[in-house]
Structure 1
Amino acid sequence: MSDSEKFERLAAKHERIDEERLAAVTDWVDYITENPPEVWGPQQNAVVDSQLESAQQTGLSAEHEQRVRDVARQLKAEQTDRD
């Protein structure tokens, strides 16, 4: 498999994931529109609390995360330049 084929497969995968995320957001909007805050509020709080706890357990700083994002952007730009 060539690099361009790999990139195309990865791009298709990312597009599918984006579509799935958008569908999940749309479903959530429908859910909170149809239910009172007393129902969905505690559910949303549980999700947010879980995400915060998970982020804190990684022990990584915001600066480290930013460096990782910067490297990823740079690698993506280099790949785009090669294609």
Structure 2
Amino acid sequence: MTDSETPDQLDAKHDRNREQRIAAIKRWVSYIQSEPPEVWGPQQNAVVNGQLTAAQHAATSAAHQQHVADVAQDILAIQDEDSDTTDLRTDR
């Protein structure tokens, strides 16, 4: 294998990973559309809670934690702006 093949292989791996993520999302959407929230809600909560627990046990610096909080605030601000814009459009 030459060095010139490495980026192509990495791109192919990224493409496969992306396709697998999209397929998993489609399966999840199909599942939640076919089952009531009482069934899939606790399952989703268990996944999210597990991720939160893992994140809390990860050794992260104060700077990284602050960065995450800043990004979360930015996302919320964008969502608020989008909802304000949506509200304006629906008032017409």
Q: After TM superposition, is the score higher than 0.5?
A: yes
Aligned partner of 1:23 in structure 2 is 23
1:59 matched to 2:59? The reply is yes
**SS at the partner of 1:59?**
coil
> What is the alpha-carbon distance in structure 2 between the residues aligned to residue 6 and residue 33 of structure 1?
41
**Structure 1 residue 53, shift from structure 2 partner:** 0.7
Q: How much is the aligned-residue C-alpha RMSD, in angstroms?
A: 1.8
Q: 1:51 to 1:9 in 2, by over 3 A?
A: same
Aligned partner of 1:9 in structure 2 is 9
Q: 1:20 to 1:62 in 2, by over 3 A?
A: farther
The gaps in structure 2 that reach 5 residues or longer are 68-92
Higher RCO, Cα 8 Å, sep 6+: 1
Query: What percentage of residue pairs aligned between the two structures are identical?
Result: 56
Length, aligned pairs only? 66
- Deviation beyond 6 Å, 4+ runs, structure 1: none
